[in-house]
Amino acid sequence: MRIALIGDTFPPLRTSGAVQLRDLAREFGRQGHALTVMIPSADLVTPYSLEKSDGFEVLRLGSPRTKDVGYIRRTASEFLMPLAMKRNLDLGPHRNTRWDGVVWYSPSIFLAPLVNHLKQGGDCPSYLILRDIFPQWALDMGLLKRGPVYSIFEAIANRQYRAADIIGVQSPGNLAFFESAQGLHAELEVLHNWLGAPSSNRCRIRISETSLAGRKILVYAGNMGVAQGMDILVELVDRLRQREDIGFIFVGRGGDALRIRNEIESRKLGNTLFFDEIDPDEIPDLYAQCHVGLVALDHRHTSHNVPGKFISYLQAGLPVLATLNRGNDLATMIGRNRIGRVSAANDIDHLVSMTTEILAELQSDPELRSRCRTLFSSAFSATAAVSQICDALRRNRNR
């Protein structure tokens, strides 16, 4: 199949979304599809650039800057992004290409105009990979209130839903969000998050050469923003500061990263090391030096989320210690598969207790790590994701 894959992030960016799209693109190529990845770029001096990579094309299209800018500028730029991408696409080698399928990744919620343009050119089905439900989660976090701004974002999100023939949500609980949707004709299904084969690159972080050498290491690697609710993890570190057998590693970036780092330093928490974001290909070697993966989601969320870091922990055989919003499907998955512990009470005493339990289970249950890897292989591989997406596109193309 000739497929267009659209997103707003891709390597060399190091976000979890960029890694996911890279791994998905590689698998499309491996399965023999003619794939073109379309990505906005604010750094081009020409309307577009086209490069070959790992069996697929990457078409970077000139667009306003949407990353690492203020909220007002970012919102304005995201409105303009798909229009700029469409204009520059029509100047490039794929202006007359007829596609067998269009796949796009959300966030961002603003890509529907480009998706509709490609669909009209090829009369082809489209698949929306929906990884978070915005603006609902921003309402949950108190970042938005119901009113004109929320209504505008909601209308934009609804437009992208209407552009989709199939919507793949990341958790069964998110299907309920669409039960009352008006004018939605898309087929709904659960499309689990995925990762490709791990890299063998050496990580620059060598825990054996730090003050935490010899300890059981709990690692958090990924975005640190308001949606993660990281403060309870700082409290956990503080409560366990006297345990000389336990250490914590935080790696990443995000809106709360500097605040969390400063909080750890101000409390003089010697059981913790904090590192800036590292190359995703170094992550597997980092995890090989650790014992438990940490997941945090703010307890105010009402939607369900399966973070990419959770999947990367499973791939590495790391059991999970998670603090989640109540009712999150991820808690059921962790419990049913016996791959870690969950605290959904936003209660530091309960989280401390769960930490003690998971560390004890590491010692007593030799099958714990293998259960993590088994779940990853059965549910979260890029191979399964590409096969599911292509099957859905074929079903809808033949209707």
Q: What is the per-residue pLDDT across 345-359, written as a single tens digit (0 to 9) for each?
A: 778 999 999 999 999
Query: What average pLDDT does this structure show over 12-34?
Result: 91
Query: Tell me: the pLDDT tens digits for 186-238?
Result: 899 999 989 888 888 999 999 999 999 999 999 999 888 766 678 899 999 99
* pLDDT at residue 373, as a whole number: 95
Q: Give pTM, 2 decimals.
A: 0.81
Sorted by sequence, the CB contacts under 8 Å of residue 86 that are 6+ apart come out as 113, 114, 117
Query: Tell me: the pLDDT tens digits for 282-321?
Result: 999 999 999 999 998 877 655 657 778 899 999 999 999 9
Numbered ranges of CATH 3.40.50.2000 in the chain: 2-196+381-397, 207-378
pLDDT category of residue 161 using cuts at 50, 70 and 90: very high
- Look up residue 11 and give its DSSP letter: T
Mean of all residue pLDDT scores within the chain = 89
Q: Quick one: what percent of the chain has pLDDT higher than 70? A: 95
Q: CB 66: neighbour CB atoms within 10 A?
A: 21
Residue with more model confidence, 174 or 85 = 85
* pLDDT at residue 303, as a whole number: 61
- Look up residue 96 and give its DSSP letter: T
Query: What is the enclosing helix (H) or strand (E) of 87?
Result: helix 71-89
Query: Tell me: the pLDDT tens digits for 121-134?
Result: 667 999 999 988 88
Buried b (16+ CB within 10 A) or exposed e, 219-247: bbbbbbbbbbbbbbbbebbeebeeeeebb
8 A C-beta contact, residue 325 and residue 344:
yes
* pLDDT at residue 334, as a whole number: 93
Q: What are phi and psi of 106, to 5 degrees?
A: -125, 125
**221 strand-pairing partners:** 251
- Let me know if 137 is exposed, middle or buried by CB neighbors in 10 A (0-12, 13-18, 19+): buried
Pick the CATH number of 2-196+381-397 from 1.10.3720.10, 3.40.140.10, 3.40.1190.20, 3.40.50.2000: 3.40.50.2000
Residue type, position 191, single letter: L
* pLDDT at residue 398, as a whole number: 64
Q: Which CATH architecture has domain 207-378?
A: 3-Layer(aba) Sandwich (3.40)
* pLDDT at residue 141, as a whole number: 66
pLDDT category of residue 86 using cuts at 50, 70 and 90: very high
8 A C-beta contact, residue 40 and residue 397:
no
Residue with more model confidence, 137 or 8 = 8
**101 strand-pairing partners:** 3
